[in-house]
Amino acid sequence: MRDDGSKPESFSRLRAEVLEGDLKLSVDEYILTANAAITPALLSPYTLVVLGSNGRLLDAGEVAALTEYYNAGGRILVYADFQYGPDNWASDNSFLKQFGIEVFPDNFQPATQITDIVTSHPIMQGVASFATEGSSQFLIKAARLSEQQVLAKCSPLERSGCALQPAEQAKIQPGDVVACTWVRENARGGKLAGTCDRNTFHNGPGPGTDIDEFDNRAYARNLFRWLTQ
């Protein structure tokens, strides 16, 4: 399967210009269906696996395969967006919950700049801000916060673009963090990262944000470079 770039919300420029062009990566794309599963054999050839918000929940076998892949040094990027289908934001939570992380639903908020950034990390080098629209942010529990490094937040949560629905607000306990970008690493070279909106990497023009808005392109380049090197 190949993204043909025919729609504004396509990722073909991300693939062609950043991944294949700048970073010289080879990219395969898959649609996870009811009849297609994530298995160790499917994951094994790849340096990086991107979970781009699936149309169904990951089952126990798929969670085990992803966990084994990460523990052995594999790299995984997760993000969600409503446009992939209602409730798709929950697709990766069965995998992420073991790390004390939960993807929140799309907040249906307007486009906003993310400026609360840890600029010292390689992913944020040269990035003053990047854009999102309708973010699926990550709740990171206080007890597991030391295992993750939060690199960006949509803050304050009360402002337009960052606000959460009441059901999500009620889940936040003292010490918890709501993140837009986070990373973690393990002793075998495994890397795991989350970014809160696919719109950051859009082709545009059209609904959402665009890979050429603000520092979106630099953010994309840095994010995928860090994950694959």
CATH number at residue 38: 3.40.50.880
Instruction: Work out the number of other CB atoms within 10 angstroms of the CB of residue 73.
Output: 13
Within a domain: 5: no
Q: What is the pLDDT of residues 131-154, one digit of tens each?
A: 999 999 999 999 999 999 999 999
Is 71 a member of any domain? yes
- Count: domains in the chain: 1
Domain hosting 70: range is 12-228
User: Does residue 1 lie within any of the structural domains?
Assistant: no
Q: Which residues 6+ apart lie within 8 Å of 193 measured at CB?
A: 75, 76, 77, 78, 123, 181, 182, 183, 184, 223, 226, 227
76 within domain boundaries: yes
pLDDT tens digits along 45-70 = 999 999 986 677 888 999 999 999 99
116, part of any domain: yes
